[in-house]
């Protein structure tokens, strides 16, 4: 195992706990005086000093809170008065009035402010401020007015006083991608924390709120004229995002640290996926019984990735985006690699959950989030970059239940025709937390059945430990610490799915010893150019591949190709030639299967200079 200083936080199973009241995070930019007004509450309306400010597709409302009241928020295209309040849209209708103390960041800690910051690096709001952020919906462009009312003892005070609890000037709203707020910065901006306010109108805030933190770290010698890989670190169970001075371990990458808050802040880890879209966890308790389960957590993680990629203050090579993690973080990395091949080139997973329904340790958490296994509530996959998984959601052509969707072993086989990122997965054979017999042991066969591109290690005598990038072929993928290159496999380059290699372990690994899979095979890339690179045309696929140990044979399936996409049933021919001697070492025919995958069986993979495999489908 590679030596590597890494701390992976894991809390072994905790009993299911109920969620606290929702904290509704929001605020305005410069809190410009769009309504001005009285700072007292002499009017008896319970709200004063409402300010409204729009930017980047979101409207931030801030007001002075009063006592222990709750709050409703209204929007109208005309100035709101007592006469037309009934025709205004109540933005808080679905989930009920906002609770008190909405300026408090429920995920505030040593790595995030305890109260919300609504302008980049501004002073956090105080306890006496109320907050709401409205994301402009399609069709809402143009001028808008807002009002905030109080609810006490279940009775709403609907009195409107412009300049106090209602805006007297319109705010011009537009539809655009929201931008997170920079809340903390250190070391000249090389370490940062952001808060992203999600779309309340299309969110379920009753479990975890709708404001979340993530952190970014830049390399110590960051040069804005150079494009860097983006490396996403998914924290383990009980963990949080990291607020560090700069990129860890001298990695020449930009690091992104998202957060999936858990029991330490009185909520549940979502295992980087999501939770019920239609169930009110605050009033109905845990365990949804009906409705959909939505990929809320994935949505905000992908939104954070896209922010870093697209924001001009960062220079990211969008073809070099990778994710990694341990335990729950590894589970999330596997899911991202399987679901977002348009974003991620490769992922590394140490001790990942691969079939949530068979894990003996965390079932109470999963049921609380997603409902009983027998219900198998349908999923909804929304958000950016969801083209590859949209149809698996409710109403789609391949609608899927959440417990089926969270069975990666099943989905690898079912979705074998889909594109996946390159998957690098390790598991300890004595792991009893992420259970080896149900999670690690069956995964190699699932990857093989799917003809996925992967490497793996099943490590004997190791429990639930960080496995230090054991299965990463560094000459191809890099790592970025020590004397190894940065993460460097481009998303736009295809790769081989390698299966049944004679230098690898059995497809169903045993319970003892260490088995490795495809870790002693490499292929030529622009950064590992020991021979001619990949040729990927409509009728021809070529790759230079070699063993780093003894000569081997293996089955090879071209994956994530750009142009090479022969039709099912197409019969192709192939030839393998030793690169050093230019001698034919194998040849034959292969037929494209029903998933439009072409697998060449028994390809000789020569050590040393390697083999050139040419597949021709005229």
34-43, 372-381, 409-418: least confidently modelled range: 34-43
Residue 350's closest CA among 244, 238, 463?
Answer: 463
399-450 tens-digit pLDDT: 999 999 999 999 999 999 999 999 999 999 999 999 999 999 999 999 999 9
What the block records as the tokens of 309 is 């990629």
Determine whether domain 520-618 maps to CATH 2.60.40.
yes
What the block records as the tokens of 452 is 């996925």
Q: Is the dihedral of CA 270, 273, 279, 280 positive or negative?
A: positive
Radius of gyration, CA atoms only, the chain: 27
Distances (CA, A) of 602 to 29, 521, 576: 62, 15, 10
Task: Give me the phi and psi of 472, to 5 degrees please.
Answer: -80, 125
Domain ranges of the chain: 48-173, 205-488, 520-618
**Is the separation of the CB atoms in 238 and 11 below 8 Å?**
yes
Q: What is the pLDDT of residue 579?
A: 97
Q: Do domains 205-488 and 520-618 have the same CATH topology?
A: no
pLDDT band at 237 (very low <50, low <70, confident <90, very high): very high
Average confidence (pLDDT) over 9-20:
30
The CATH class that applies to domain 48-173 reads: mainly beta
State yes or no: pLDDT of 204 exceeds 80: yes
Q: How far apart are CA 392 and CA 400, in angstroms?
A: 5
Average confidence (pLDDT) over 135-145:
97
Strand partners, 600: 556
State yes or no: pLDDT of 205 exceeds 50: yes
37-46, 360-369, 378-387, 411-420: least confidently modelled range: 37-46
Q: Percent of the chain beyond pLDDT 90?
A: 87
State yes or no: pLDDT of 15 exceeds 70: no
Q: How far apart are CA 582 and CA 432, in angstroms?
A: 50
What is the separation of C-alpha 55 from the centre of its chain, rounded to a whole number of angstroms?
25
Q: Is the dihedral of CA 165, 171, 177, 182 positive or negative?
A: negative
Q: What is the pLDDT of residue 181?
A: 98
Query: What number of other Cβ atoms are within 10 A of residue 589's Cβ?
Result: 9
How much is the mean pLDDT over the chain? 91
211-217: strand order across its sheet: 181-186, 191-197, 211-217, 254-257, 228-234, 316-326, 346-350, 422-428, 454-459, 515-517
Q: What is the pLDDT of residue 372?
A: 97
Q: What is the pLDDT of residue 483?
A: 66
**Is the separation of the CB atoms in 609 and 618 below 8 Å?**
no
163-176 tens-digit pLDDT: 999 999 999 999 99
DSSP 8-state symbol, 525: B
Alpha helices in 171-295, H assignment, sequence order: 281-284
Residue 29's closest CA among 120, 136, 138, 140?
Answer: 120
**Is the separation of the CB atoms in 289 and 314 below 8 Å?**
no
Average confidence (pLDDT) over 61-88:
95
What is the separation of C-alpha 273 from the centre of its chain, rounded to a whole number of angstroms?
8
572-584 tens-digit pLDDT: 999 999 999 999 9
Got the DSSP string for 187-201? GGGTEEEEEEE--GG
pLDDT band at 18 (very low <50, low <70, confident <90, very high): very low
Which residues have a Cβ under 8 Å from the Cβ of 437 and sit 6 or more positions away?
none
The SS3 assignment for 144 reads: strand
State yes or no: pLDDT of 1 exceeds 70: no
Element (DSSP H or E) covering residue 337: helix 328-339
Q: How far apart are CA 306 and CA 314, in angstroms?
A: 11
State yes or no: pLDDT of 13 exceeds 60: no
The SS3 assignment for 496 reads: strand
Judge residue 607's burial from the number of C-beta atoms within 10 Å of its C-beta, 0-12 exposed, 13-18 middle, 19 or more buried.
middle
pLDDT band at 263 (very low <50, low <70, confident <90, very high): confident
> What is the CB-side half-sphere exposure of residue 34 using CA atoms within 13 A?
28
Average confidence (pLDDT) over 207-231:
96
State yes or no: pLDDT of 28 exceeds 50: no
Q: How far apart are CA 195 and CA 405, in angstroms?
A: 29
E strands along 413-510, which residues? 422-428, 454-459, 495-499
What the block records as the tokens of 302 is 């992908």
Average confidence (pLDDT) over 321-328:
97
More confident: 594 or 28? 594
**Is the separation of the CB atoms in 559 and 494 below 8 Å?**
yes
The CATH class that applies to domain 205-488 reads: alpha beta
More confident: 25 or 459? 459
């Amino acid at each position: 195992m590679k030596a590597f200083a890494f701390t992976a936080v894991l809390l072994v199973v905790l009993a299911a706990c109920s969620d606290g009241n929702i904290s509704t995070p929001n605020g305005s930019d410069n809190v410009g005086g769009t309504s001005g007004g009285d700072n007292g509450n002499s009017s008896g309306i319970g709200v004063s000093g409402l300010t409204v400010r729009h930017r980047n597709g979101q409207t931030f409302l801030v007001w002075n809170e009063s006592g222990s009241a709750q709050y409703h928020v209204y929007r109208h295209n005309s100035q709101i008065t007592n006469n037309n309040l009934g025709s205004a849209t109540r933005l808080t209708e679905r989930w009920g009035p906002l609770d008190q103390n909405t300026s408090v960041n429920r995920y505030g800690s040593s790595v995030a402010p305890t109260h919300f910051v609504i302008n980049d690096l501004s002073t956090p709001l105080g306890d006496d401020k109320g907050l709401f952020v409205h994301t402009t919906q399609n069709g809402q462009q143009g001028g808008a007015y807002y009002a905030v009312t109080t609810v006490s003892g279940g009775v709403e005070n609907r009195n409107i006083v412009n300049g106090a609890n209602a805006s007297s000037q319109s705010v011009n709203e537009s539809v655009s991608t929201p931008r997170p707020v920079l809340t903390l910065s250190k070391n000249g901006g090389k370490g940062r924390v952001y808060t992203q306010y999600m779309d309340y109108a299309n969110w379920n805030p009753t479990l975890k709120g709708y404001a979340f933190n993530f952190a970014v770290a830049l390399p110590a010698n960051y040069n804005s004229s150079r494009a860097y890989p983006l490396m996403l670190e998914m924290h383990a169970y009980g963990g949080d995002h990291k607020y560090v001075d700069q990129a860890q371990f001298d990695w020449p990458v930009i690091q992104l640290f998202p957060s999936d808050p858990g029991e330490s802040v009185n909520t549940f880890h979502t295992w980087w996926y999501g939770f019920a879209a239609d169930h009110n966890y605050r009033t109905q308790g845990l365990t949804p019984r009906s409705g959909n389960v939505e990929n809320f957590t994935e949505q905000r993680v992908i939104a954070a990735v896209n922010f870093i990629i697209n924001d001009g203050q960062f220079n990211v090579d969008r073809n070099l985006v990778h994710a990694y993690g341990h335990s729950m973080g590894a589970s999330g990395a596997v899911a991202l690699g399987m679901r977002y091949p348009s974003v991620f080139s490769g992922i590394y997973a140490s001790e990942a959950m691969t079939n949530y329904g068979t894990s003996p340790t965390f079932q109470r958490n999963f049921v609380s989030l997603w409902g009983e296994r027998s219900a198998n509530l349908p999923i909804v996959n929304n958000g950016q970059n969801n083209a590859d998984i949209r149809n698996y959601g409710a109403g789609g052509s391949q609608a899927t239940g959440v417990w089926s969707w969270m069975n990666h072993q099943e989905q690898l086989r079912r979705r074998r025709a889909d594109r996946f990122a390159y998957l690098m997965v390790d598991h300890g054979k004595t792991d009893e937390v992420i259970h080896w017999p149900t999670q690690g042991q069956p995964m190699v066969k699932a990857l093989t059945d799917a003809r996925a591109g992967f490497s793996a290690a099943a490590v004997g005598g190791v429990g639930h430990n960080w496995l230090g990038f054991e299965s990463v072929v560094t000459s191809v993928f890099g790592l970025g610490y020590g004397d190894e290159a940065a993460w460097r496999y481009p998303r736009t380059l295809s790769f081989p799915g390698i299966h049944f290699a004679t230098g690898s372990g059995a497809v169903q690994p045993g319970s003892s010893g260490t088995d490795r899979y495809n870790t002693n095979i490499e292929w030529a890339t622009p950064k590992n150019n020991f021979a001619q690179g990949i040729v990927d045309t409509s009728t021809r696929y070529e790759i230079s591949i070699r063993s780093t140990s003894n000569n081997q044979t293996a089955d090879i399936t071209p994956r994530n190709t750009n142009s090479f996409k022969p039709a099912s049933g197409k019969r192709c021919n192939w030839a393998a030639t030793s690169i050093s001697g230019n001698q034919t070492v194998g040849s034959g025919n292969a037929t494209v299967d029903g998933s439009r995958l072409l697998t060449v069986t028994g390809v000789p993979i020569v050590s040393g200079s390697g083999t050139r495999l040419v597949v021709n489908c005229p």
